[in-house]
């Protein structure tokens, strides 16, 4: 910079740098749009009622992904049901109760660490604990419990952050009216923190829906012959796992088509998730924000 400034004036440098930053921003958006459109362009033509609801085939072409679609949402729902109460509880503790002490420090360190544990490691842990030690085998319940470990740290952080954004005087008003701490949290703090928590929940659900490494060795790569099968001890291959399986190991001749179709299904689901929850969440926040003043 010091040598360059003699050759090119700072004004021109500023222009060049600004141009480069714009370019970077556009490249970043461009990559995303390319990914989404490529997957939709390739995959949407594959999507048919037979494909979406049909039975998979191991060797012949023309198999569907019905059971995998069902399993994806079943495992996702179960894992969220397990993680939400725990994560909200931990988030409330960190935001409302935690003092500045060793315990809090340890919990924070644990949550941060859990968030960076690679998902394959979580998968192997689930395999040791749920599949082997607790004898669940490759099952929907084993997969959902392991997937919970992925959801927890994100949900804890989001809950804590959302609760912290609720103004202190809301709490003071409630406490001054004679409400207990729990009543205050339940009636005043949580409803106001809800939009933020919902947004975080969407992000978590999207991530969990596409998760593969955790589920291969806990929910397995096979599906039940019945559809829908609510038995939590049945093996439960999900869409994302199936997409990987057909590409890496599968023998079906139309595996590229199947993978394209699943890719499009996953992208569409994630787009719907984001539009359905994120945008109403933002609107709600804005509305409440404006009524505050």
Partner 1 sequence: MDADVKQHQMKLIYDRYVRYLFIASACLMTIIILAIIIFVGQQGLRTFTEVSVSEFFFTTKWDPMEGQYGAASFIVGSLYVTLLAILLGAPLGLAGAVFMAKIAPSWLREIMRPATDLYVAIPSVVYGFVGLTIVVPFIRTQFNVSSGFGLLAAGFILAIMILPTIISISEDALRSVPRPLEEASLALGATRWQTIWKVLLPAALPGILTSIILAMARAIGETMAVQMVIGNTPQLAKSLFMPTSTLPSEIVVEMGNTPYGSAWGDSLFLMALVLLLISLGMILIIRRIAQRRLA
Determine, following the binding rule CB under 8 A, whether residue 253 of this chain makes contact with partner 1: no
Determine, following the binding rule CB under 8 A, whether residue 132 of this chain makes contact with partner 1: yes
Determine, following the binding rule CB under 8 A, whether residue 281 of this chain makes contact with partner 1: no
Cα three-residue angle 209-246-67, rounded to 5 degrees: 50
Residues 177-196 contacting partner 1, CB under 8 A: 180-183
Dihedrals phi, psi of 223, to nearest 5 degrees: -125, 160
- From the CB of 54, what's the least distance to partner 1, in Å? 20
Spatial CA neighbour of 259 closest among 250, 272, 271, 268: 250
Number of amino acids touching partner 1 (CB under 8 A): 88
Give start and end residues of each alpha helix (H) in the chain.
Answer: 4-7, 10-43, 49-53, 66-92, 102-116, 119-126, 140-164, 168-176, 181-184, 190-209, 213-216, 239-248, 255-273, 279-292
Residues 211-240 contacting partner 1, CB under 8 A: 211-213, 216-217, 221, 240
Tell which one of 125, 229, 233, 252 touches partner 1 (CB under 8 A).
125
Tell which one of 8, 48, 77, 89 touches partner 1 (CB under 8 A).
89
- From the CB of 96, what's the least distance to partner 1, in Å? 8
Please, which residue, 156 or 188, has the CB nearer to partner 1?
A: 156
Question: How far apart are alpha carbons 55 and 258 in whole angstroms?
Answer: 12
Span near partner 1 by CB under 8 A; candidates 60-68, 74-82, 108-116, 161-169 = 108-116
Q: Please, how many CA atoms are within 13 Å of residue 271, restricted to the half-sphere of its CB? A: 13
Residues 228, 70: contact at Cβ < 8 Å? yes
Please, which residue, 231 or 279, has the CB nearer to partner 1?
A: 279
- From the CB of 24, what's the least distance to partner 1, in Å? 3
Is 223 in a helix, a strand, or coil?
Answer: strand
- C-beta neighbour count of 46 within 10 angstroms: 20
Tell which one of 47, 73, 222, 273 touches partner 1 (CB under 8 A).
273
Please, which residue, 141 or 150, has the CB nearer to partner 1?
A: 150
Please, which residue, 35 or 230, has the CB nearer to partner 1?
A: 35
Determine, following the binding rule CB under 8 A, whether residue 30 of this chain makes contact with partner 1: no
- From the CB of 258, what's the least distance to partner 1, in Å? 11
For residue 223, list its beta bridge partners.
236
Question: How far apart are alpha carbons 291 and 293 in whole angstroms?
Answer: 6
- CA 243 to chain CA mean position, Å: 18
Residues 118, 212: contact at Cβ < 8 Å? no
Please, which residue, 113 or 226, has the CB nearer to partner 1?
A: 113
Compose the 57-86 pattern: x for residues touching partner 1 by CB under 8 A, - for all others: ----------------------------xx
């Amino acid at each position: 910079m010091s040598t360059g400034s003699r050759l090119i004036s700072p004004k021109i440098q500023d222009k060049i740098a600004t141009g480069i930053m714009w370019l970077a921003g556009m490249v970043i958006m461009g990559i995303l749009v390319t990914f989404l459109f490529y997957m939709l362009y390739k995959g949407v033509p594959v999507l048919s009622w037979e494909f979406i609801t049909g039975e998979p085939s191991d060797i012949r072409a023309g198999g569907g992904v019905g059971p995998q679609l069902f399993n994806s949402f079943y495992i996702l729902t179960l894992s969220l049901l397990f993680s939400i109460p725990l994560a909200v509880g931990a988030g409330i503790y960190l935001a409302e109760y935690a003092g500045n002490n060793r315990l809090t420090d340890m919990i924070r360190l644990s949550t941060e660490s859990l968030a960076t544990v690679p998902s394959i490691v979580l998968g192997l842990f689930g395999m040791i604990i749920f599949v082997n030690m607790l004898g669940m085998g490759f099952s929907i319940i084993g997969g959902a419990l392991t997937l919970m470990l992925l959801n927890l740290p994100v949900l804890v952080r989001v809950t804590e952050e959302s609760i912290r954004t609720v103004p202190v005087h809301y709490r003071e008003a409630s406490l001054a009216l004679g409400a207990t701490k729990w009543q205050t949290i339940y009636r005043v703090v949580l409803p106001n923190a809800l939009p933020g928590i919902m947004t975080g929940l969407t992000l978590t659900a999207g991530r969990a829906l596409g998760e593969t490494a955790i589920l291969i060795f806990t929910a397995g790569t096979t599906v039940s012959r019945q559809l829908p099968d609510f038995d939590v001890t049945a093996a439960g291959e999900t869409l994302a796992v199936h997409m990987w399986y057909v590409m890496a190991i599968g023998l079906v001749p139309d595996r590229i088509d199947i993978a394209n179709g699943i890719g499009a299904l996953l992208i569409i689901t994630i787009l719907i998730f984001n539009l359905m929850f994120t945008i109403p969440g933002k609107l709600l926040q804005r509305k409440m924000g404006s009524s505050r003043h």
